[in-house]
Amino acid sequence: MAARVPKVRRYGMRSGRGMNLWGIPLIVLALAGCDQVLSQERTVCVTGYNEYERKIHEFWLDSEGKSGCFGNPPGREKEQLFGGGGKFSCGCTVTPGKKVSLQWEMVQTWDEYEKGAEPERHSTWVTIPEPESSNSRYLRVYFMKDGSTPLQWVDDMGAPELPPSSKGERK
């Protein structure tokens, strides 16, 4: 008597009847993953651009998440649109689409320091934007005179800077 050969399931198909229940969710996950490539956690170099004449002592991006993003852009000179942009803090980790805190502290004058005055501190929430491409590795943090703090991804530091705020334009 011949042994009966059982039908074998392979790759989510069952003897030509179509996909099993796992096939559709797997396809949806695979397609959704295409958009997730740019939104994954990324290690970047961050730099600050300061529209104020006064130097920023230090800024922290996502200090709660311990991302390692910080910097201290100088104040701008009269002929400049921004101070800073030349020094980097590399190895910091950000996640596009994530809302994080941005905190900064202005440099004190010697007189303020001598009097024991508290430094001028600011804090806001920003959303890490999507990178301009998969090659983006620099994240610019702007401190504008109008109070805004835009973030800009660039592939290389030769990319154009954002325009100054209306309060920061030179006449």
Encode pLDDT of 99-141 as tens digits. Answer: 999 999 988 889 998 999 999 999 999 999 999 898 899 999 9
- 81, 140: one domain: yes
pLDDT computed for residue 72 by the predictor: 66
pLDDT tens digits for 8-29?
Answer: 555 444 445 555 555 544 444 4
Tokens of 20: 């099993």
Torsion (CA) 154, 159, 165, 168 in degrees, nearest 10: 130
Q: Are residues 90 and 131 in the same domain?
A: yes
> Is 82 in the same domain as 148?
yes
Q: Region 84-111: what's the mean pLDDT?
A: 84
102 and 115 inside one domain: yes
Domain that holds residue 23: 11-39
| CA–CA–CA angle 63, 67, 68 (5° rounding) | 85
Q: Is residue 171 part of a domain?
A: no
Judgement on whether residues 141 and 65 belong to the same structural domain of the protein: yes
Question: How many separate domains does the chain show?
Answer: 2
